[in-house]
Amino acid sequence: MNELYPLKFKPVFDDRIWGGEKIKTRLGLDFSPLIRCAEAWVLSGYEGKQTVVSNGFLEGNEINELIEVYMDDLVGGKVYDTSGDTFPLLIKFIDSRDWLSIQVHPDDALAHKRGMANGKTEMWYVLDAEENSQLIAGFNRKVTQKQFLDHLQKKTLPEIMNYMNVYSGDVIYMPAGRIHSLGSGVLLAEIQQTSDVTYRIYDWDRKDENGIGRDLHTEQALAAIDFNLYSDYKTNYRPKINETVNLISCPYFTTRIIELAQPLQKNYEELDSFVVYICLEGSMMVKCREQKTGLRKGEVVMIPAIFNIVEIFPERKAKFLEVFIA
């Protein structure tokens, strides 16, 4: 069997009613023949939307096929024991030209009860936000389920939502159960569990070209929603040049941000997991043993778990997310 190496992937593009053009204009990803693109799934093991390798001798192979062959050498022993032959994370870029629906995702327990493999906890890193862009995360007051349903029936649900202004560099953690939506003018990277289950609660009374609104999932959503009120919905962190800064640590993924102006060596000897780099700005060279792989803004690379030492060489300057399962 040939030796593994840092793997790059061909994105899977998806259009929605709220998608725009920034995935092409800002990230350089060609989503033709689509006219617009809401989501680029840049690393996915989700059935039916798996990404395939775009470099090296494994080119053309789906990620889950590789896990079947390489198992813990690729993803790590703990990850393989837990997730089997399905890659456990879904990494996307999202471009919102209009408001997404107000929605919620189930946690693992509810997902399993409903016959799904797992729930959907996610996080957002904002790459770009137009002036006055907003998102919704949770409620702006304590509400009961009855009050929630009353607002939904009266079409006043937006009145009890917690609106936040959005800026480049913002990090928002969205645990399963947190009601949320993304406003217009935002380009972001999303890291989430491998799941595509979304309970759409309110879609701003939009209609398509045929005058038909999208399906809503109110009853399914009720058991999923966390009605608690929280004091802060944004992750606070302080970026540091040439240092690794932790953003989110949860049972499903750990995400850190690194801004480099000089070479860096990472030691993953104690980490029993694959590592994914998501390039946000600039470009860099990633070296594992004698294997070298270039990475530019808008691309991801997966470092197989078998590699303990990774060397990163920025070309002038690079900013990227580092993602793994602890």
Residues annotated as catalytic are 200
Q: In 84-176, which residue ranges form alpha helices assigned H by DSSP?
A: 108-113, 145-154
Fill in the amino acid letter for 261: A
- Residue 154 vs residues 7, 150, 159, 208: alpha-carbon distances, Å: 50, 6, 11, 22
Report whether 39 contacts 60 (CB < 8 A). no
The three-state secondary structure class of 126 is strand
Radius of gyration of the chain (CA): 20
Which residues touch 322 (CB under 8 Å, ≥6 apart)?
244, 255, 256, 257, 258, 266, 275, 276, 277
In angstroms, the CA 28 to CA 1 distance is 34
d(CA 107, CA 313) in angstroms, rounded, equals 39
- The residue written with tokens 């990090």 in the block is 171
**String of DSSP letters for 257-324:** EEEESS-EEEE-TT--S-EEEEEEEEEEEEEETTEEEEEETT-EEEE-TT--EEEEEEEEEEEEEEEE
Give CA–CA dist 292/286, Å, rounded: 6
CA 35, CA 18: separation in Å to the nearest integer? 12
The DSSP call for residue 93 is E
Please state, in angstroms and rounded to a whole number, the distance separating the CA atoms of residues 15 and 11: 13
